[in-house]
């Protein structure tokens, strides 16, 4: 099985020898790949929808991994018990849903040693939530695939340093380590923001002026992140 660049990056974050729970497993590709590699000792593939979970079961049977990968219908981490997994993957969904799943998994916070998160939107909200609830991001990385950018976070319990808004948006770790994919993303985002500003400058409505004010702040945060990466 060959994982996409995005899923391969997520899988690369999982600690060697861990027991894994993949929440929102969809096709079950991550637990299958990691089990076949011998990187995880056992895995639970979880999803809130019956259709994706059945597809995961089919793929698990295809690779004869029924004895090593359990499938479980669950709303987020609701049906995951303490001690069943020391690494939890939450990937492929929006930031608000990632936060919702973390909230629903409070009973696991001090039991799970590693959370691998890959929110596809609202990363600033996720980073803020983590900081406010006693988590620390120990590592981040980014990948570009088919014109889209994906971020993966390695998260555990701990104290996180205060972040600027630019760091909340783009990731203090990525900025500090001058991540080349983030550098590319920032340049592309800046070009897009400048084009939108040019279009809005031709308008004189209240909504256009309000959006221009927002754009100015967004451009400032983008510039701040790029300057820190010099």
71 and 106, same domain (yes or no): yes
23 and 121, same domain (yes or no): yes
Q: Of 129, 160, 191, which residue sits at a domain end?
A: 160
Instruction: Return the SS3 of 91.
Output: strand
58 and 155, same domain (yes or no): yes
142 and 70, same domain (yes or no): yes
CATH code assigned at 22: 3.40.50.150
| The pLDDT value given to residue 2 | 87
Residue 197 CB: number of other CB atoms within 10 A? 15
| The pLDDT value given to residue 206 | 86
> 198: domain range?
182-229
In a domain, 166, yes or no: no
Residues composing the chain: 230
In a domain, 140, yes or no: yes
DSSP 8-class letter at 106: G
| The pLDDT value given to residue 201 | 86
In a domain, 221, yes or no: yes
25 and 89, same domain (yes or no): yes
30 and 137, same domain (yes or no): yes
Distances in whole angstroms, Cα of residue 131 to Cα of each of 76, 136, 137, 159, 170: 21, 7, 9, 7, 15
Q: What is the pLDDT along the chain (230 residues), one digit of tens a residue?
A: 789 999 999 999 999 999 999 999 989 999 999 999 999 999 999 999 999 999 999 999 999 999 999 999 999 999 999 999 999 999 999 999 999 999 999 999 999 999 999 999 999 999 999 999 999 999 999 999 999 999 999 999 999 999 999 999 999 999 999 999 999 999 999 999 999 999 888 888 888 889 999 999 999 999 999 999 99
59 and 156, same domain (yes or no): yes
Number of domains in the chain: 2
In a domain, 165, yes or no: no
Side-chain half-sphere exposure of 162, counting CA atoms within 13 A: 1
Instruction: Return the SS3 of 149.
Output: strand
In a domain, 170, yes or no: no
| The pLDDT value given to residue 203 | 87
In a domain, 171, yes or no: no
147 and 188, same domain (yes or no): no
11 and 56, same domain (yes or no): yes
In a domain, 128, yes or no: yes
In a domain, 190, yes or no: yes
| The pLDDT value given to residue 168 | 98
197 and 142, same domain (yes or no): no
89 and 58, same domain (yes or no): yes
Q: What is the pTM of this model?
A: 0.95
122 and 39, same domain (yes or no): yes
């Amino acid at each position: 099985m060959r994982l996409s660049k995005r899923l391969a990056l997520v899988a690369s974050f999982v600690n060697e020898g861990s027991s894994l729970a993949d929440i929102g497993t969809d096709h079950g590709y991550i637990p299958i790949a990691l089990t076949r590699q011998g990187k995880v000792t056992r895995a639970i593939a979880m999803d809130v929808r019956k259709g994706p979970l059945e597809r995961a079961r089919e793929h698990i049977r295809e690779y004869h991994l029924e004895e090593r990968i359990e499938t479980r219908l669950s709303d987020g981490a609701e049906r995951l018990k303490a001690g069943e997994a020391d690494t939890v993957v939450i990937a492929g969904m929006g930031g608000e849903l990632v936060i919702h799943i973390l909230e629903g998994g409070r009973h696991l916070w001090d039991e799970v040693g590693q959370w691998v998160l890959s929110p596809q939107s609202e990363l600033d909200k996720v980073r803020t939530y983590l900081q406010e609830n006693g988590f620390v991001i120990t590592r981040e990385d980014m990948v570009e695939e088919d014109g889209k950018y994906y971020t993966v976070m390695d998260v555990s319990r701990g104290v996180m340093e205060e972040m600027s808004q630019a760091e909340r948006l783009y990731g203090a770790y990525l900025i500090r380590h001058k991540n080349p994919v983030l550098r590319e993303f920032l340049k592309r985002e800046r070009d897009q923001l400048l084009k939108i500003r040019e279009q809005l400058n031709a308008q004189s409505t209240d909504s256009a002026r309000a959006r221009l004010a927002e754009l100015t702040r967004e451009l400032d945060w983008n510039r701040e992140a790029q300057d820190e990466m010099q």
